[in-house]
Structure 1
Amino acid sequence: MVTQEFPSSSSNASNVSMAAFSSSVPVVNSTVPGSVADFYNGKSVFITGGTGFMGKVLLEKLLRSCPGVSNIYLLIRPKRGQVAQERLQQLLSSPLFDLIRKERPNDLFKVQPIEGDITQPELAISQSDRELLIRSVNVVFHSAATVKFDEKLKLSVTINMLGTQRLVELCRRMPNLEALIHVSTAYCNCDRSEVKEMIYPPPIGPDQIVSLVEALDEDLVDSLTPKIVGNRPNTYTFTKALAECWLKENKGDLPLVIVRPSIVLSSMEGPLKGWVDNWNGPTGIIAAVGKGIFRTMLCEKEKKADLVPVDIVINLMIVSAWRIASVKTKDIPIYNCVTGQRKPITWETFVQLCFSNLRTHPLSQVNWYPDGTVTSSRAYNTINQYLLHFAPAYVMDFVTWLTGGRPIMIKIQNKLQKAATCLEYFTTREWEFDDSNVKDLSQTLSEADRIEFQFDVAKIDWNQFLENYVLGIRRFIFKEDTSSIPKARKQISRLYIVYRLVQIISVLMTWHFLTLRYAPLRRMWSNSLRLLMHLARMLPFM
């Protein structure tokens, strides 16, 4: 079994019984009672992944827009000597919760930590906490996952698949459960160019892959990972696809919904426009571009970049729970939370807008003027990496070492190179994600709910959003106040002059070197200089 060639999910075999995996979501009851906020009145919510980027936005939005919610339980793993309660207090001290702390501080007491670990049997939740959850929870949001693209397969299976299975086992014991929202990814079927809102048959059974990684040594699993993953780019998309298939086969009567966001960026609206608190995805690259230390990337400029604001994803999750609880269905509703169909943006436009905003709202203490290129030529990109990334990094580290400092630029460039390589699969390809279910869901909302829980991606203003995104990176990643922008602009203006002078000198030196080696170029260069001198002498008489 270990050496088996797993068939691609795009093979003919994958089309067998495709209708069985469809999520047309037939409706049993078409009446939708009450507003979204009213649905959460008196409800208890359980969230996994609540300490992550999306989990924090979900928690804040539930507290702010669903004030009638009774309790929100967060699964929190003790970490770095901090118990769950300490991590919760640290989480709630984030600027994201400033508005709630100011207007309704008592609502923060609704949030209660549940100490546990998604990687452990029974989620490592104590008996008393399990009984509490089983007795009281009405809505579960499962967003816990490893989002590292290059995660080892064994750990990715443990978190993304076994963690999901353990959560489902707990949910089956909840008599009052009305909605279970599983957060997947639009790219779990990235081996297909067209992705509908349905679960596709996997190239290998979920139970088979679990048995495989549990039976084999981790080093052997690592060596077999490329063959096991097949034509998917990483273990993340692979295990997310298998988790969906396992849920399809094992959900039973659970009120399950699957939400699939594409590439998640900062928040678009309140309470903090541009809020982002991690380096994942393009954010780390854009931050490095703003510092002037990242200048080239492999990319198909004309292809669509399917990017989505985090608050749009969260609003969709909250509404989808209301929908599945209010309108019973016979199948699994699946929502592709994407922008490529109704508000597309190309990678070229994305990069240009980011560059423009990084120069308008520059970071403080930048290493070099923010500029660079995206290219579809792998050879050209590799040359640029050595010339524009690693060569300057070695020089800077050498100077740092001479002055008694700690050289770090090579280490930083290695990390950036790794991140860029992980993104290459997504920046050089394009997908057509169907989002019909999302559009239909929006139509079921009242006008007030459509405003409060806005997830219509057609309303995105990319110019404004990306300006707030860059400002968010500046404020929340680098902790820089907007008052420092005028000073940073002066610095960036000086760097621009130096940058252009260096470019001119480099061109002249290259040309001079070529003219010394090739006689025709040397004669051309001499003639050009004589002509310039002649014109210069003529200027006073013109």
Structure 2
Amino acid sequence: MVGSGATHGNMASLQQTMNGNTAGVGGGGGGGNGGGGASVSDFYVGKTVFITGGTGFMGKVLLEKLLRSCPGVARIYLLIRPKRGQEAQERLQQLLTSPLFDPLRKERPLDLGKVHPIQGDITQKELAISANDRATLSRNVNIVFHSAATVKFDEKLKLSVTINMLGTQRLVELCRTMDHLEALIHVSTAYCNCDRSEVKETIYAPTIGPDQITNLVEILDENMVDSLTSKLVGDRPNTYTFTKSLAECWLKENKGDLPLVIVRPSIVLSTMNGPLKGWVDNWNGPTGIIAAAGKGLFRTMLCDPEMTADLVPVDVVINLMIVAAWRIGTEKQQPQTSSTQQHNELVIYNCCTGMRKPIKWKTFIDLCFKYMRRHPFSEVTWYPDGTVTSCRSFNTVNKWLLHWLPAYVLDSFVWLAGGKPIMLKVQDKLSKAATCLEYFTTKEWRFDDENVRMLSFTLNESDKQEFCFDVAKIDWKNYIENYVLGIRRFIFKEELESLPKARKQISRLYWSHRIMQVVSVMCMWHFLTLRYAPLRRLWSNALRLLIHLARVLPFV
């Protein structure tokens, strides 16, 4: 996992470096104005944006940021599929009630009227968009952000291919009909090439071509595809990283003259900055595990504590996406000269922290526990504590002692009392989530981010502040504290007013936890002394010493 410092040179040397770096973000234009002269916000004035995946975690942050920091944007279309009896318009209104949009609702409520739903489905042919809506998009859209994807690691290959590959292909077909398209940003993942220890900002050809996989999945039934999945995925840990890699390969082969950019974030967590620090609204990745640990339900995990955890705030990723669209959009406006031929190359940005602002898994976990004890959740089952180990056998023993045994005991008491046992189901879900993460918590990667660093040099100082994607500025302690507070507030819906009561509960649980530890050690020691004579004699001598001291000390 990656990161490294960037050296700020003078403008002349910077320009020379940019023009000479064929794998960079493109030439042309002086540093600080992107070559087009317009600031990032100015670039979006009068533009129409189309977003897929707008109802997801990253999509919401992208939508809010565009509305707040690019007030000149004319209109934003969101691809939304009907779900659970709700039409696209209903889902949009529900999305806009998220706390993330509270500041906009108070300060500039009319701007929310710029957002319009496009009813469709990424899994269907032509994205299931009506002819009228397709015509509207073709006539008006300038910028496309494609973030729709299944992020389930254990998704069946057939569905993962349908969403992550075929959905991307169908979106590209739509983009080719857009008369005024200036930028297409495809959101991938840094781990699409996790079969390599060092990942540069380039496309790596998979062992099986994307068209071959697509044909195979379309021809075979789901059971047959399931039986072949492990062989097809190969060294990758899941269908998500596999299909994301295939999508990238297909995009490279079929890009043509589309103004395409790929952004690859690593493990995405809550927001770092405004409008709401620590905002998070899903259980994906480490968030579900951290939330469960804070409730006292999760206490052990397979993880190499000395490996680098490549974690990145979601708003850092979104800022990079918005700037990447500005960059390629302003490049397109320039005459194509020998110094701007890079525009025709597929530009990739690895949005990661491991090289420039690394943090170990041990540090991350310790800080999470520290702040979960300082700002405890309400109705905690047991004192938040736990361990990570790289020893699989030790972790298995811990799981039985710390997860499954307590779950069986609690469910038995609930069943005897006439209630509905749920702890075994909870532990089963947590165990599956932890298993999905094991591959990423026991390995580390070096993600090259040269293009990202070069891109930052093209921004003026105002844009560097408003659209900051410099991961070197992350303060991990402050960020993780806000992350924990965000889980408390936005996942568990607990306001700050409940903290005093929660702290009293956690204090009581702390002493119960310590007493339980002492009793457990004494019981284990007593059990050992019954079996081994030397230990039994040591135990007896210790007891005699304690009795003797109890008799003597009061008279000293």
Task: Look up the match of 2:353.
Answer: 339
Task: Look up the match of 2:4.
Answer: none
The structure 1 residue matched to 2:169, chosen from 160, 165, 168, is 165
Contact 2:48 2:76 in 1 (8 A): yes
Instruction: Mark the runs of 5 or more structure 1 residues left unpaired by the alignment.
Output: 1-21
Please state how far the C-alpha of 1:534 moved relative to its aligned partner: 1.5
Compare 326-335 and 288-297 and name the one that shifted more: 326-335
Please state how far the C-alpha of 1:171 moved relative to its aligned partner: 0.1
- Is 1:270 aligned to residue 284 of structure 2? no
Give the SS at the match of 2:380: coil
Identity of aligned residues (%): 75
Task: Look up the match of 1:5.
Answer: none
Distance 1:173 1:37 in 2: 26
The structure 1 residue matched to 2:262, chosen from 258, 261, 264, is 258
Task: Look up the match of 1:149.
Answer: 153
Give the SS at the match of 2:344: coil
Instruction: Mark the runs of 5 or more structure 2 residues left unpaired by the alignment.
Output: 1-21, 333-342
Structure 2: which amino acid aligns with 1:219? N
Distance 2:241 2:121 in 1: 22
- Is 1:84 aligned to residue 98 of structure 2? no
Contact 2:25 2:455 in 1 (8 A): no
- Is 1:231 aligned to residue 235 of structure 2? yes
1:259-296 Cα distance to aligned partner (Å, 9 max, x none): 00000000000000000000000000000000001000
Compare 320-329 and 150-159 and name the one that shifted more: 320-329
Structure 2: which amino acid aligns with 1:299? C
Task: Look up the match of 1:472.
Answer: 486
Supply the RMSD in Å over aligned alpha carbons: 1.0
Please state how far the C-alpha of 1:536 moved relative to its aligned partner: 2.2
Structure 2: which amino acid aligns with 1:472? G
Distance 2:288 2:305 in 1: 19
Task: Look up the match of 2:27.
Answer: 27
Task: Look up the match of 1:327.
Answer: 331
1:497-524 Cα distance to aligned partner (Å, 9 max, x none): 0111011111111111121222221111
Distance 2:380 2:307 in 1: 30
Please state how far the C-alpha of 1:91 moved relative to its aligned partner: 0.1
Distance 1:389 1:531 in 2: 38
Compare 325-334 and 143-152 and name the one that shifted more: 325-334
Task: Look up the match of 1:95.
Answer: 99
Compare 130-139 and 28-37 and name the one that shifted more: 28-37
Alignment of 1:65-76 (within 5 A): 65-76=69-80
Task: Look up the match of 2:336.
Answer: none
Distance 1:410 1:268 in 2: 35
Structure 2: which amino acid aligns with 1:474? R
Task: Look up the match of 2:386.
Answer: 372
Distance 1:108 1:25 in 2: 33
Compare 301-310 and 323-332 and name the one that shifted more: 323-332
Contact 1:26 1:330 in 2 (8 A): no
**Structure 1 runs (4+) greater than 4 angstroms displaced:** 22-26
Contact 2:24 2:454 in 1 (8 A): no
TM-score by length of 1: 0.95
Give the SS at the match of 1:327: helix
Task: Look up the match of 1:520.
Answer: 534
Contact 2:361 2:441 in 1 (8 A): yes
Structure 2: which amino acid aligns with 1:162? L
Distance 1:303 1:508 in 2: 34
Distance 1:519 1:178 in 2: 81
Distance 2:24 2:44 in 1: 26
Please state how far the C-alpha of 1:29 moved relative to its aligned partner: 5.8
1:386-410 Cα distance to aligned partner (Å, 9 max, x none): 1100111111111111122111110
Contact 1:25 1:330 in 2 (8 A): no
Alignment of 1:258-407 (within 5 A): 258-328=262-332, 329-407=343-421
Please state how far the C-alpha of 1:212 moved relative to its aligned partner: 0.7
What is the total number of aligned residue pairs between the two structures?
Answer: 521
Distance 2:527 2:329 in 1: 73
The structure 2 residue matched to 1:180, chosen from 167, 184, 188, is 184
Task: Look up the match of 1:422.
Answer: 436
Contact 1:369 1:495 in 2 (8 A): yes
Distance 2:90 2:418 in 1: 38
Give the SS at the match of 2:306: coil
Distance 1:32 1:434 in 2: 27
Task: Look up the match of 1:48.
Answer: 52
Contact 1:171 1:177 in 2 (8 A): yes
